[in-house]
């Protein structure tokens, strides 16, 4: 059975690519352009997402700030949601913070196999 995935990236081409791959593999996908849209989607009463695939570098509200809001409980039901960061700019400092919040990360460029494997529990 497919999962309900929230893809968060300001590059629409990346969102559409991930959406196509995920939908072809049976997942439902919602797209958000930045951390603020991500928060709005998570606060929506009908948004029982299984996972979030997120970039770090976005306008308005970046990925790290968004992760902090999620993990500190902007919505109780989403506090433990699986988050996967996909970025080419993961420094050691960022890596430590992601691990603190139990967030998975994948370096860009990403293959279809890596994307799909990242959703496995």
Domain range annotation of the chain: 4-118
Q: What is the pLDDT of residue 121?
A: 63
Six token digits for residue 60: 């308005």
Return d(Cα 67, Cα 45) in angstroms, integer.
19
**Do the Cβ atoms of 48 and 24 come closer than 8 Å?**
no
Q: What is the pLDDT of residue 14?
A: 94
Among residues 42, 120, 93, the alpha carbon closest in space to that of 104 is found at 120
Residue 43 has pLDDT above 70, yes or no: yes
Q: What is the pLDDT of residue 74?
A: 66
Using DSSP bridges, classify how beta strands 82-87 and 51-54 pair: parallel, antiparallel or unpaired. parallel
| Mean of the per-residue pLDDT values of the chain | 89
CATH H-level, domain 4-118: superfamily: Response regulator (3.40.50.2300)
Please state whether the predicted TM-score (pTM) of the whole model is above 0.85: yes
Confidence of residue 75 (pLDDT cuts 50, 70, 90): low
Residue 73 has pLDDT above 80, yes or no: no
């Amino acid at each position: 059975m497919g999962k309900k995935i929230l893809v968060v990236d300001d590059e629409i081409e990346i969102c559409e690519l991930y959406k196509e791959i995920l939908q072809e593999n049976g997942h439902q996908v919602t797209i958000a352009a930045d951390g603020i849209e991500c928060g709005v989607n998570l606060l929506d009463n009908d948004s029982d997402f299984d996972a979030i695939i997120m970039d770090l570098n976005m306008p308005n509200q970046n990925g790290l700030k968004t992760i902090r809001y999620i993990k500190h409980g902007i919505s109780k039901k989403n506090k433990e949601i699986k988050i996967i960061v996909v970025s080419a700019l993961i420094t050691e400092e960022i890596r430590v913070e992601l691990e603190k919040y139990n967030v998975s990360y994948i370096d860009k460029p990403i293959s279809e196999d890596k994307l799909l494997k990242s959703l496995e529990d």
